[in-house]
Structure formats: structure tokens, C-alpha cells
Amino acid sequence: MAISYPHLKQRHFLPQRQHYTERDTMLYALSLGLGNDPVDESALPFVYEGAPGGLRALPSLAVVLGYPGFWARESDTGIDWVKLLHGEQRMRIHRPLPASAEVVGTTRVTHITDKGADKGAILVSERVIETTQGELLATVQSVSFLRGDGGYSQQPGGQPSDDPLPPLPATPADRAPDFTDIQITRPESALLYRLMGDYNPLHAEPAVARQAGFDRPILHGLASYGLVTRAILRQCCANDPARLKALDIRFTAPVYPGETLVTEIWRVPGQPNQLQLRARIPERDKVVLSHGFAELS
């Protein structure tokens, strides 16, 4: 069945109350591969409570907090969830995330854009993450590409189609990156990362992956997003998570667990606190994340 614009825009999401502990913060970082090198002391603040200054949370932990679950799979949405792909992720950090806290995530659908019957549709969901005392921690936007749901606005009766979000800037093509970061993903990384709350079988079951057009399970886009966050902290922030204020990026191709992720980062001329970036897989000579933009303090 076709998706219903008014139903999705008005869909009620119960606020998600979550108590995460230092163990959860460490597990998140470990699922991204921090600690793979036992002598890399730069990883310790994110995986070891005994590190100088205590345990710190990666800013990208925000994207898994207060998560309402894989709601697109629920029958009332009308979404062809097997063909859903994560298109972009945008995040604003309003204050550094505590290593442990009780938070509330409030989700809503903000945009639905019909690209056409053969081109799919774009859905944007926004989640605000606050402490139970009402302190705003982060705002995250997830842009989903609904490959099987294009043309809904041309169905009988006619349905609205929203303007898309402002486009993300392309990375420079006329100069080499100012920073390059290399990370090798673990073969079991998708199975580890799904413990963060995204249980889409696309990342675990080979049969489901093949049904979606992939030869094997793929890594979560948000896992790649976390790896890029780690690269920015290591290369541009002296490993200080409090310095990252925003990170937006587009997912252009899947990452397969076990591949090498090379993050390339450019300074924005005249803007010392802004970066542009992309990530590629050298084994396949493939750009997998593009149009990245980050803001630092």
C-alpha cells in the first residue's frame, strides 16, 4: 500500500526514557572499534573508566539515545521497509554528553518528499534528546531514502510533498585534504553495533541483505557516522569530545564489516571552526560518506 503523508506527519511517538550507564558508553565506543589497538592510549578515555579525567562519551552517542526503535517496520506506516536506506544524518550537540545519565528522546516526522514513482521518497525524522531535568543535550535528524515508496503524491486523491532539507556542501575537488584518518572495521562490527538498538535484520541476516540488493549484511550507516566522529576528534580536536558541536553527512554507498574506512577532512577557508569531509573504502575505491560538514568550538 502507498504511504500516507498525513498519517506519517501526525504519527505519535511515545517519549523514550532511557537510563544509560558508563558500561553503555564504553560498549558504544567498543562497537565502533575503539580499543582495537591495545596500546592506543587515545582510545582509553572512551572505553576505560580509569583513564585520566574519567570516562567520556563520544558525541555521536547522541544518535542512539532515546531511539524509538525501527518504527518504519511497523505495519501502520505503509513503508516498504526492506528497501529503506539511511540517506543522511545530521546532529547538533548543545552540551557535552555525560558518561551516564537518564534522558528522554522525543521524535517526530518533519519532512516527506516525493521524488517520483521510480525515484523513491525522502523522510526526515527529528529527535530531541534532553535530560529528565529538561536540559537540552542534542538534536538529531535522520534522513531516510524510501526506495519503494516514490510516487505516493500522484496517487488518487493527491497528497502533499515537502521541500527537502537544505543540501549539504560538496567536499573540495581542487585540493588535497588537510587531514586523513584510517580505521579498520571489525568483521563482526554490524553484529556489535546492532546492540545499540537498531535491530534491522539487514545488518545481520544474509538472506535479508540479498533481498535488499546486497551480497551480504552491511554496516549500519550510524556506525560509519560514529567512526567519522572518532576521526574528527583524533585529527582536529585533540581528542576532546566537547569541541564537536555539529556533524552532518550523506551516506552514498554501503560499508561492509571488515573494510577500511579512510576519512578525509578539509579546513573551510576563513572559517577556523568549520570542516568538510568525506570517507572512502580503499579496497573498492569507493566513496561511502560524502558532503560532510562539521562545526567545532
φ, ψ dihedrals at 155, nearest 5°: -70, 160
186-204 confidence digits (pLDDT tens): 999 999 999 998 888 889 9
Active-site residue (options: 66, 120, 221, 292): 221
| Domain limits for position 242 | 5-296
pTM of model > 0.85: yes
228-244 confidence digits (pLDDT tens): 999 999 999 999 999 99
Q: Is 203 a catalytic residue?
A: yes
For position 71, what pLDDT does the model report?
Answer: 92
Half-sphere exposure of 241 toward its Cβ, with a 13 Å CA cutoff?
26
Average of pLDDT values for 266-280?
97
**How far apart are the C-alpha atoms of 166 and 134, rounded to whole Å?**
29
What's the total number of domains in the chain? 1
Cell numbers linked to 186: 571489525
For position 1, what pLDDT does the model report?
Answer: 60
Q: What is the CATH number of the domain that holds 47?
A: 3.10.129.10
Active-site residue (options: 93, 129, 218, 232): 218
Active-site residue (options: 86, 203, 220, 291): 203
Q: Is 221 a catalytic residue?
A: yes
Active-site residue (options: 24, 149, 181, 198): 198
Contacts 24+ apart (CB under 8 A), 30-38: 30/192, 31/189, 31/192, 31/193, 31/195, 31/196, 31/223, 32/58, 32/189, 32/193, 32/223, 32/226, 32/227, 32/230, 33/183, 33/184, 33/185, 33/186, 33/189, 33/227, 34/230, 36/184, 36/186
For residue 197, which of 11, 46, 31, 84 has the smallest C-alpha distance? 31
**How far apart are the C-alpha atoms of 183 and 91, rounded to whole Å?**
22
Residues for the chain: how many in total? 297
